[in-house]
Structures are given as structure tokens and as C-alpha cells.
Amino acid sequence: MKQWLTLGLLAPTLLFAQDIKLPTGFSISEIGKELGATRHITVSKQGHVYAKLSKLKEGNGIVMLKDKDKDGAYEDQNWFGNYTGTGIGIDGEYFYAASNKGVHRYALNAQGEIADVNTYETIVDGLPDHGRDNAKPFVFDKDKKHIYVTIGSWNDPCRVPGTGKGMSPCAILDSAGGIWQFDANKLNQKFQDGVRYATGLKNAVGIAWNTQTNSLFAMAHGRGQFHDFYPQYYTPQMSQELPAEAMYEFKKAGDDAGWPYIYYDQKQNKKIVAPEYGGDGKKTGGENALDPTVAFPAHMGPNDLLFYTGNQFPAKYKNGAFIAFHGQSSEFKKGYLVGFVPFKNGKPSGKWEIFADNFAGTDLVKPTGPIQHRPCGLAQGPDGSLYVSDDLGGSIYRITYKK
């Protein structure tokens, strides 16, 4: 039987103090390093930090960091779980973790720790996994009646193999390319027990429930390969700069973001018909598809979304959205950062901005070395601190604010 694997950890130190750029008053510390491919993270009411791994580390797929004496040093690393994945969360009496095919839950004890790491129950299993864009991030609604699980598409533009044409209709949408809703309190559900709540999303690794608006938000990964297949319409530069990575708000079942039939062109500020479906880079479409809540530069790879509800940070951050960007924009030579969108009354109230910059550890304009860290997961601590995971270097950071 698998037991806790406990390792010591040195006190945190400022990581790349000369490189990580934060707004005035903020500081960042590394609370864990060389942990493996740490994807999404969550923090218990007691301040324990859990991370899901996309690759097993010594046979384990989950790690918990614990600061036993509350001095800011996370002395213990506790490892368990023999499956890989991305989704993770704590809600009520349970700790939840996803594989690439389902979501499981572990009972918590009074100390906020998992009662038995060898025993879990299954909420849903048997979700499609075709090896590409197969992460299963999840989120609960405000009342914890439902759990929402992303099922990404393994076919970037829903193109018929060996052709330049799209499937018409796109058969993939029946089982992927969206977010499915399941009963949050029913065990042993299968894929067919779910409801396709949101559709038209090629892949949405970053999803969050906004308790202020009582609605589901998702960060969509945009498609690619415009110039590769359609050089008559798109230049190589256009392929690098299109389409937008976009934030969407889903208010009801059946809401559609438009993939694969359309994409959002942030330069024209229009929904454009995809070339697989008769588009030429100019033809507009998607009259029944949602407009993005916010559009971001192409290929930034938004991998997590968090609405900040804490009180530690300045008032401008309250109820705003933090986004972990896992990639970079070749147009702006920016990436591997945490962005922020201010919100007011449930809607964006200003332009998005860079909150934590330069996790890459190298100048993206003129790189002098390899990328060192890629922000992937976000979590809010009970004291209002912001935690950021890195699935390249295997680090977890804690960002705090002091006047």
C-alpha cells in the first residue's frame, strides 16, 4: 500500500529577486522546488499546498507542502497518488484530484489533511483521452451542486485528416471541445451521465466559477497552423499573431464559443470564419457564438484562471482575474507570466496587465539561455496570498503583499 513519502525542505528564499517583476509592495518566495511537473494547485484552510503532477515523480502524482510551525517555511513534502493529471481542488469535506480520464475525491480529517491517501472515491471516470490536450481541469459551482470538467479536442481545427477541409458538422463536439457538467455529489458517474454545458472551446485548461456573477468562466486556447495549410490567406506572421487567446463567460447550458467554425481576430475585433469552413481571413461569422470577455495575444497559453476574493492585496485586485500564461507571444516578446484583469460589478473594468513577469529567467527578445519556469497553476491561500506553480522547473511560489 502506498504511504506518505515525506522529505525535508529548506526555508524559502527569494527566487530571481532581480528577475521576477512585481508591482510595488509585492514579494515572491519559492516554497518548493524540483517537485516535478506541477500543474494545478490548491490550498487548504489550514494553509497546506497541494499540487497535481502531469508526470509521476517516484511513482507519485500529487504532492502536499506543509508549513508545520507557520514560519513561512514549508518543511514537509508529502507525496501520494499513483496517477497523473492536472485538475485539483478542495471543497468542503473533500480533496479532489483529476486523472486524464476522471475526477476522484479523498475524505479530509479535522486537520484539513487527507484521512487516508490510499483510499479515494470516484466522481466521474471514463472521460475521453486521446493523448493530446487531455487534461481534465474542473471547478464547482457556487452551491456545489455540479462539477464542471473540461474535455479538450485532440484535433486542432477539427480538420479532416489529409485535407484542408473541416468536418461538417464537427463530430468531435459530441465528446470534446467543451466543458461538461456532472452531479457534484454522485459517485461513479460515466461520460454519458454528463451534460455538455459549454461548447466551442478547443481546449480550456483554465476554468473558474465566479461567485460574484454566479457563472462559469474559461480561458480558451486558440488554434494554429493558418499559414501551414492556407498560405493564400495567411502569412507566417499572421500565423504567429492569430488567433486571440480568449476569456469567455458561460451563463447557461449550451453557450457556444464558436470553435472550430470561427476564431476571434483581436486585430480586427471580429469573429472570423475559419479557413476550414470557407473563411479567407476576412469573412465574419458566428452570429450565435459568444463574444470574448477579454482577448489576449496569440499563443500565450492561458493555463489557469483565478478570481481573487482575498483581502491581503490592494483593493484594485478584489474580484479581479489572475491568469497563468504558459506560453509566449512572438509578436510582443512577452510570456511565461501571470496576468491580471480588473473586474467591477462582474465585468472587466480596464485593460489586462502583467502582474508577475519574467518567470522565463531570460530575455525573450534576445534569449541568453533556455526557459526556466512556466506558470501553470494558481491558488489563493486563506490569508489572501497568491500561489503560482511551474510545471517546467517544478517550483511553487508564494506572492504576498505588504504596505
**Range 213-225 average pLDDT:** 97
| pLDDT surpassing 80 at residue 341 | yes
Q: Would you say residue 1 has pLDDT above 70?
A: no
Instruction: Determine the 3-state secondary structure of 338 from DSSP.
Output: strand
pLDDT (mean) for 151-158: 96
Separation between Cα atoms, residue 144 and residue 108, nearest integer Å = 17
Q: How confident is the model over 312-335, as a mean pLDDT?
A: 97
Lowest mean pLDDT among 66-70, 113-117, 119-123, 190-194: 66-70
Range name among 158-162, 237-241, 242-246, 307-311 with the lowest pLDDT average: 158-162
> In which band, very low, low, confident or very high, does the pLDDT at 256 lie, cut at 50, 70 and 90?
very high
Using 50, 70 and 90 to split pLDDT, how confident is the model at 393?
A: very high
Tell me the average pLDDT across 333-358.
Answer: 97
What residue type is assigned to position 76 of the chain?
D
For residue 398, pLDDT over 50 is answered with yes
Q: Per-residue confidence at 10, pLDDT binned at 50, 70, 90? A: very low
**pLDDT one-digit tens code per residue, 174-201:** 999 999 999 999 999 999 999 999 999 9
The pLDDT value recorded for residue 68 is 87
* pLDDT-derived band at 355, boundaries 50, 70, 90: very high
> Phi and psi (nearest 5°) for 277?
-120, 30
Burial (CB < 10 A; 0-12, 13-18, 19+), residue 251, is exposed
Other CB atoms within 10 A of residue 383 CB: 12
Give the rounded distance of the alpha carbon of 190 from its chain centre.
Answer: 23
pLDDT class of 31 with cuts at 50, 70, 90: very high
pLDDT band per the 50, 70, 90 thresholds, residue 18: low
> How is residue 189 written as a grid cell?
458517474
DSSP annotation of 12 reads P
Residue 367 and residue 89: Cα distance in Å, rounded? 36
Q: Which among 371, 376, 383, 369 has a CA at the least distance from the CA of 397?
A: 376
Residue 272 belongs to what H/E stretch? strand 270-273
For the stretch 264-279, what's the b/e string if a residue is b when 16 or more beta carbons lie within 10 angstroms of its beta carbon?
bbbeeebbbbbbbbeb
pLDDT band at 111 (very low <50, low <70, confident <90, very high): confident
Q: What is the pTM assigned to this prediction?
A: 0.95
Tell me how crowded residue 237 is: count the other CB atoms within 10 A of its CB.
11
Domain 13-28+120-401 carries which CATH code? 2.120.10.30
Cα 105 to Cα 120: distance, rounded to the nearest angstrom: 5
- Pair 79, 57: CB distance under 8 Å: yes
Cis amide bond preceding 260, omega within 30: yes
In whole angstroms, what is the distance from residue 361 CA to residue 9 CA? Answer: 23
Mean predicted confidence (pLDDT) in 108-112: 86
How does residue 247 score in pLDDT terms, banded at 50, 70 and 90?
very high
Supply the pLDDT for residue 16: 53
β-sheet bridge partners, residue 42 = 50
Looking at residue 70, what is its pLDDT? 86
Cα gap 369→360, rounded to integer Å:
9
Confidence category of residue 386, pLDDT binned at 50, 70, 90: very high
Identify the burial level of 145 via C-beta atoms within 10 angstroms of its C-beta, where 0-12 means exposed, 13-18 middle and 19 or more buried: exposed
What's the mean per-residue pLDDT of the chain? 94
- Give the count of alpha carbons within 13 A of 39, CB side only: 25
Q: Which residues pair with 29 in a beta bridge?
A: 398
263's grid cell: 476564431
Q: Does residue 132 register a pLDDT over 90?
A: yes
Confidence at residue 9, expressed as pLDDT on a 0 to 100 scale? 38
Distance CA 53, CA 359 (A): 19
Q: What is the DSSP string of 81-143?
A: -S---S-EEEETTEEEEE-SS-EEEEEB-TTSSBS-TT--EEEEE-----SSS----EEE-TT
pLDDT recorded at residue 69: 86
Instruction: Report whether pLDDT(8) > 70.
Output: no
Res 314 pLDDT > 90: yes
Stretch 346-360: mean pLDDT: 96
Q: Give alpha helix (H) positions in 161-249.
A: 226-229, 236-241
Mean pLDDT within 28-54: 96
